[in-house]
Amino acid sequence: MGTGHGYGKVILFNEHFVVYGIPAIASAIDRKTVAEVKRCEGEGFILHDNREATPGYKEDKAEQQRESIERIKKAMGITDCIEIWLHGDLRAASGVGASAASCAAIARAIADEFSLSFSDEEINNFAYEGEKAYHGNPSGIDNTCATFGGLVWFVKGKGMERLSPPQPVEIVMGDTGKVANTKKAVEGVKERREKYRERYDEIFKEAEKLAHEARDVLLRGDWEKVGELMNRNHKLLQEIEVSSPELDHLVEVAMENGAYGAKMTGGGLGGYMVALTPGKELQEKVARAIEKEGFYALRTRIGI
């Protein structure tokens, strides 16, 4: 039986903008999806999805997941029937790179089962193929984090550059519990950008400037400034209409409880937000405040 893994992720700056060639900054988190694969009789594949998940997530994504696995198999040249088991400590939800983590894990497990020697770069390409089923036009940032781990500076079409902050830092990710349609969110931005081109060009210009500023302060470990820039990035994402009332509410809860900065993360319209909470004590305070509001809080770190 072949095994493989893929990391969850958090986008710290510029989801959506990244689709248009603007730099984004993202990090793998210390949670992952594990896949196990073995050959079976018949055709196609059999899937056992044993991941913990936001209610409704797996059901809502089932069709996209099937297409994703077919895409990965085709890209890898696999025609045999395979049986797949998915598990791990990454809770499947929108905004935490769950689909990319599963794509990378499945690609690695298939390679292991069939004794295929693929590089991480090739695994990343297979995961990207799988991501197309979920995102339509993926930027590639999710599968890059899922495959390689670490903190990355990412430009679509140019790939990634690893960033090394002085030390890992605690964050809290709050799940709205709302399953989001990333493909719909991406298409919505495209339509509005075409309709309100001048206004959107200004927003996109500001997002690019912000990314370069964020890169510098992250590398210095200036967490107060990083938080301030995250707040600004959230406002830009609100302006392109990819946030939601639930996300905005959790951002407010985090800020009221001492987070250095907070914003939506991922495709938006639901899914996760992220709060920067250096130190275990602040992390716990913000996480408990989110839980008190009735939402799921994930305590993790970036820069690992």
Per-residue confidence band for 107, with pLDDT thresholds at 50, 70 and 90 = very high
| 67 and 149 share one domain | yes
Residue 297: which of 233, 265, 250, 258 has the closest Cα?
A: 250
Quick one: pLDDT at residue 180? Answer: 84
Residue where a domain terminates, one of 163, 193, 209 = 163
The mean pLDDT value for 43-72 works out to 96
Same domain, 6 and 136: yes
Max mean pLDDT range (146-160, 180-194, 203-217): 203-217
pLDDT value at position 137? 81
The predicted-structure confidence for 228-284, as pLDDT tens digits, reads as follows: 999 999 999 999 999 999 999 999 999 999 999 999 999 999 999 999 999 999 999
Contacts of 246 (CB under 8 A, 6+ apart): 176, 177, 178, 270
Residue 183's pLDDT is 85
How confident is residue 181, by pLDDT bands cut at 50, 70 and 90? confident
Compute the Cα dihedral for 155, 160, 166, 172 and give only its sign.
Answer: positive
What CATH number corresponds to the domain at position 121?
Answer: 3.30.230.10
Which ranges of the chain does DSSP label H, i.e. alpha helix?
57-60, 62-76, 98-113, 120-135, 141-148, 182-195, 197-220, 223-239, 245-256, 280-292
Mean pLDDT of 40-67: 96
Give the CATH number of the domain where residue 210 resides: 3.30.70.890
Q: Are residues 184 and 136 in the same domain?
A: no
What percent of the chain clears pLDDT 90, i.e. is strictly above it? 93
The mean predicted confidence, pLDDT, of the chain is 96
Q: What's the confidence (pLDDT) of residue 139?
A: 85
Q: What pTM did the predictor assign?
A: 0.89
Structural element, H or E, at residue 3: strand 2-13
Q: Which of 104, 138, 163 is the last residue of a domain?
A: 163
Residues 79-106 have a mean pLDDT of 96
Residues annotated catalytic, as ranges? 142
Q: Identify the band that residue 29 occupies on the pLDDT scale cut at 50, 70 and 90.
A: very high
Q: Are residues 178 and 128 in the same domain?
A: no
Judgement on whether residues 69 and 112 belong to the same structural domain of the protein: yes
11 and 149 together in one domain? yes
CB 184 within 8 A of CB 244: no
Residue 128 has pLDDT above 80, yes or no: yes
Query: Based on the domain organization, do 254 and 158 belong to the same domain?
Result: no
Number of domains in the chain: 2
Task: Classify 56 as helix, strand or coil.
Answer: coil
Same domain, 49 and 97: yes
126 and 226 together in one domain? no
Domain that holds residue 233: 169-302
According to DSSP, residue 157 is labeled T
Which of 163, 191, 225 terminates a domain? The answer is 163
pLDDT above 70 covers a percentage of the chain that reads 100
- Produce one character per residue of 38-71: b if its CB has 16 or more CB atoms within 10 Å, e if not: eeeeeeebebebebebbeebbebbeebbeebbeb
Mean pLDDT of 67-77: 98
Over residues 144-152, the mean pLDDT reads 94
Examine the domain organization and report whether 221 and 141 are in the same domain: no
Which structure tokens are listed for 156? 């679509």
Is 136 a residue whose pLDDT tops 90? no
Per-residue pLDDT averaged across 206-225, rounded?
A: 97
**Predicted pLDDT at 243:** 97
Please count the other Cβ atoms lying within 10 Å of the Cβ belonging to residue 232: 18
What is the CB-side half-sphere exposure of residue 88 using CA atoms within 13 A?
A: 24
Q: Let me know whether 131 and 12 are in one domain.
A: yes
* pLDDT at position 182 over 90: no
Whether residues 177 and 284 share a domain: the answer is yes
Look at residue 49 in the predicted model and tell me its pLDDT: 98
